[in-house]
Amino acid sequence: MKRWMIWLLCWACSGVAMAGDVVVQDAWLRAPAPGQDVAGVYLTIECAQVATLTGAQSSVAGTVQLHRMSMQQGVMRMQQIAGIRLPAGQAVHLAPGGLHIMLIHLKQALHPGDSVPLVLDVTVGDKAEHVDVQAVVRGFGDSQTGKMVH
Ligand SMILES: [Cu+2]
């Protein structure tokens, strides 16, 4: 099957966003705990060429940052980072416990099943691509308490 046909098929199912050579899949976030006004967004991003995810915006958040989570002296900590490098043709996973996009100062309540609009800024060569993504809100619970240390 030709690559464009696969892309066309993917385009037809939900959860795939493309701009230029950038493909984003499975964007989601966990519904924030009551009283919390931050949420981490997770997704899979891939670009056919070497690229850098430099930032994002969302109408539901006052501030959006790129974060990395790491273990420091036995405590999970989040750190803001300037960009996430995307090797050519290699999927990069933003996932709980690692890289994520942080929505800060949420302007509205987010409920499981809601879609959150995001625009990702990706630099591909000397071109700036903007990828429109819909992240699905998943229910709060199970493994993570939602407690986050900045
Ligand atoms: Cu974070």
CA gap 119, 57 in Å, rounded: 5
pLDDT above 50 for 104: yes
CA–centroid distance, 68 to ligand 1, in Å, is: 7
Q: What is the pLDDT of residue 144?
A: 45
Q: What is the pLDDT of residue 16?
A: 86
- Report how far ligand 1's centroid is from the alpha carbon of 81 (Å): 10
Provide the whole-model pTM. Answer: 0.82
| pLDDT tens for each residue of 40-70 | 999 999 999 999 999 999 999 999 999 999 8
Ligand 1 centre from 38 Cα, in Å? 8
Ligand 1: distance of its center to the CA of 2 in Å? 38
Residues 90-116 have a mean pLDDT of: 95
- Whether residue 121 is predicted with pLDDT greater than 80 in this model: the reply is yes
**Domain 3-138, CATH:** 2.60.40.1890
Q: Across the strands, what pairs with 24? A: 17, 45
**Average pLDDT of 112-126?**
95
| Rounded Cα distance, 132 and 119, in Å | 5
Residue 6, φ and ψ in degrees, nearest 5: -65, -45
